[in-house]
Amino acid sequence: MHAEVFFWILGSGLLMSVIALIGSVTFLFKQETFERMILPLVALAAGSLIGGAFFHMIPAALSSHHLDELRVGIWIALGFTVFFALEQFIHHHHCHRQNANCQEPLAYLILIGDGLHNFLGGLSIAGVFLVDIRLGIATWLAAAAHEIPQELGDFGALVHAGWDKKKALFWNFISALLFPAGALITCAVSRHINTDFLIAFAAGNFIYIGASDLVPEVNKARSVSKNIIHFTAFAIGLLLLLMIRLLFKH
């Protein structure tokens, strides 16, 4: 592995962790302003994730010499299923804790779930960088577009669970450090195994998060004007990733 690729992986991983500090902007805004911003960001993230999967990762996986079409489909399905199972696990314990009126353990479950997500994200995106730096940049942009609203949401949930803002911000950042940790593990094993399958696995992750988690959230608005704003933000996310694909096409 070239030193340039390693520094791209390490730098992008650390930068993704810094995004976890996005919750600090809430100190500058009123609550009602924050609430108006979050759903358009969620819609943008959904478009970016789905665009990243269909315009970048799936075509790259299909062009790999180490994967045939069936294996690509299997890894996409596996990536989708792993995140489905993870979300089912978190929701089960989340509801159990809520019914018991026990909010403090909920904060830890949020951190564990986000940490697992960050770790898998680091594994996947580092694998993409190992294949092609430009593809890695596009994939990172799609992931970052998703991380911004997610980290804002996680921050709000931790505060809602009873933590003060400084504590919530600190532990959210610690959880995010699992992203570069996962990336470094990918670097360590890349010499021994081929990591092309991680592109398809990440595509499955992105499709699940975008279609199953984010799109339903922005479909809850009953106002026509809000629906138009959310759809526009979603379309911008798709077009942004399509433009990156066209600009960085081999």
What is the model's pLDDT at position 106?
59
Residue 226: inside a domain, yes or no? yes
pLDDT at 208 over 70: yes
Residue 184: inside a domain, yes or no? yes
Closest CA to 201 of 115, 141, 123, 137: 123
What is the model's pLDDT at position 205?
85
What is the model's pLDDT at position 96?
56
Q: Which two tokens stand for residue 115?
A: 């940490």
pLDDT in tens, 61-79: 898 888 899 999 999 999 8
Residue 26: inside a domain, yes or no? no
Q: What is the domain count for the chain? A: 1
| pTM of full prediction above 0.75 | no
Give Dmax over CA atoms of the chain in angstroms.
55
Most confident of 30-44, 113-127, 233-247: 233-247
Higher-confidence position of 29 and 128: 128
Residue 125: inside a domain, yes or no? yes
Residue 27: inside a domain, yes or no? no
**For 9-18, 79-88, 160-169, which range has the lowest pLDDT when averaged over its residues?**
160-169
- Domain range enclosing 184: 3-20+32-247
Most confident of 72-81, 96-105, 204-213: 72-81
